[in-house]
Amino acid sequence: MTLETPAPTAESSLEADMLAMGRRARAASRTLALAGADARTKAIKGMASALRGRSKEVLAANAADLDDARAKGMADAMMDRLALDEKRLAGVVGALESIAAIPDPVGVETARWTPENGLDIARVRTPLGVLAIIYESRPNVTADAAALAVRAGNAVILRGGSECLRSNLAIHEALVEGLTSAGLSPDTVQIVTTRDRAAVGQILTGLDGSIDLLIPRGGRSLVERVKNEARVAVLGHLEGVNHVYVHASADPDMARAVAVNAKMRRVSVCGAAETLLIDKAVADDLLPRIAADLTGAGCELRADPAARALIPGAAAANDDDWATEYLKPILAVKVVDGMDEALDHVARYGSGHTESIVASDEAAIERFLAEADAGIVLANASTQFADGGEFGFGGEIGISTDRLHARGPVGAEQLTSFKYVVRGKGQTRP
């Protein structure tokens, strides 16, 4: 009797391909970790210049993606997220150059001490290993996520949206040119080339231990699917239901400027404010003025009864409004009776992303900063500063709302792990 190997099916082929991709990434991560900061810097600079040199090809690939999207009837707002032009591409090149200039976090000693047993112990940063980034739209993610990963010594597997596959592949070629120019393996940054949706399911398994961290970038349903199905660690980037609390001691002009900027500078970023809380003590005078600024800038207001009494044009807010991340020019507004009520509201409805107070009273500032539980808490500044670039990280892969590992803007430093390096003189333990 002869045993026959079953003919490979499409599924088993995809699985085999993905597992092999994982193994290549793991192998590449080992050599990347030991390649040294200079090689990594050179690779990222090489990525930037290769992208500049290939801008014609990238824009042509993007034009083809856009043609297909148009033919399929994609909405303009969605198409805008896929579209690249000379200016946007120059922005991506600039982002890569910034990332190349970030200090290399690998090998940095973050602590060193000698306990009673006489051992010399150091805590040293190491790469995480292999990252997998699953993203939608925005082809620039292909470049900046890959560069941040490599800066921190990680190999990366990219799986972008099918609607920009050509654009992503063209950008990937530039990234590989950068890697090889620095003597690094092309497998350091791999891109999933199949449109087959089953590839995502494969990645979510962790590829047999090849993946250390999954990073979903995109809409809520993508992030939730990944969080629910993934068998490996996921960097959580959920909602930004962010508050601006105008305290009784707020400078009125500052409150107006900060509130408007926090909502309206860019309404679709995760750092945009979604609810304004204003102290009863100053609402009579100040709320109508802030409201006029906001509606003048095109914002729709949804207010609680006390606020509506002061801004008659505002619609009535319901319970859902307090918990909603609009990502649109809509702001929920509530009058609160002091700090306790403001903090309770933030604790109940905030998503742990970004919370802010405008106040001049130091004690009120310090209390809010201590008690508001979010990755970023600000006093007297716009929530729109919730951004890795603004924090001086040189870039970010997203803003984490998790409490473990990384919280707030995730830059290269947060894409690392650490090890304890212990130097002894022959000590044994009694």
Interface with its own copies (CB under 8 A): 30, 34, 107, 113, 115-117, 119, 121, 126, 128-129, 212-213, 233, 251, 254, 257-258, 260-261, 265, 347, 365, 369-371, 373-382, 384-385, 390-392, 402-405, 407-409, 417-430
Least gap, CB of 420 to its own copies (angstroms): 5
Task: Return the closest-CA partner of residue 255 out of 359, 354, 391, 331.
Answer: 359
For residues 161 and 409, which CB has a smaller minimum distance to its own copies in the complex?
409
Least gap, CB of 246 to its own copies (angstroms): 13
Q: Are 134 and 215 in contact (CB under 8 A)?
A: yes
Q: Are 51 and 211 in contact (CB under 8 A)?
A: no
Least gap, CB of 292 to its own copies (angstroms): 18
* HSE toward the beta carbon, residue 75, CA cutoff 13 A: 3
For residues 168 and 354, which CB has a smaller minimum distance to its own copies in the complex?
354
Least gap, CB of 20 to its own copies (angstroms): 18
Task: Return the closest-CA partner of residue 324 out of 238, 241, 220, 242.
Answer: 241
Least gap, CB of 260 to its own copies (angstroms): 8
Helices 252-264 and 280-296 cross at an angle (nearest 10°) of 50
Q: Are 52 and 93 in contact (CB under 8 A)?
A: yes
Least gap, CB of 408 to its own copies (angstroms): 5
For residues 256 and 334, which CB has a smaller minimum distance to its own copies in the complex?
256
Least gap, CB of 127 to its own copies (angstroms): 9
**Beta pairing, strands 330-336 & 408-409:** unpaired
For residues 46 and 411, which CB has a smaller minimum distance to its own copies in the complex?
411
For residues 202 and 261, which CB has a smaller minimum distance to its own copies in the complex?
261
For residues 314 and 393, which CB has a smaller minimum distance to its own copies in the complex?
393
189-191: strand order across its sheet:
189-191, 155-159, 130-135, 213-217
- Work out the number of other CB atoms within 10 angstroms of the CB of residue 104: 18
For residues 147 and 386, which CB has a smaller minimum distance to its own copies in the complex?
386
Least gap, CB of 11 to its own copies (angstroms): 23
What Å distances lie between residue 72 and 62, 75, 79, 108, 279, CA to CA? Answer: 15, 9, 11, 50, 49
Q: Are 148 and 415 in contact (CB under 8 A)?
A: yes
Least gap, CB of 344 to its own copies (angstroms): 11
For residues 257 and 306, which CB has a smaller minimum distance to its own copies in the complex?
257
Residues 6+ apart with CB under 8 A from 38: none
Task: Return the closest-CA partner of residue 326 out of 317, 313, 335.
Answer: 317
Least gap, CB of 257 to its own copies (angstroms): 5
For residues 64 and 233, which CB has a smaller minimum distance to its own copies in the complex?
233
Buried-exposed string 232-258: b where 16+ CB fall within 10 A, e elsewhere = bbbbbbbbbbbbbbbbbbbeeeebbeb
Mapped onto helix, strand or coil, the DSSP state of residue 139 is coil
* DSSP run (H or E) holding 245: strand 242-246
- Work out the number of other CB atoms within 10 angstroms of the CB of residue 228: 9
As a whole number of angstroms, the distance between CA 196 and CA 193 comes to 9
For residues 58 and 234, which CB has a smaller minimum distance to its own copies in the complex?
234
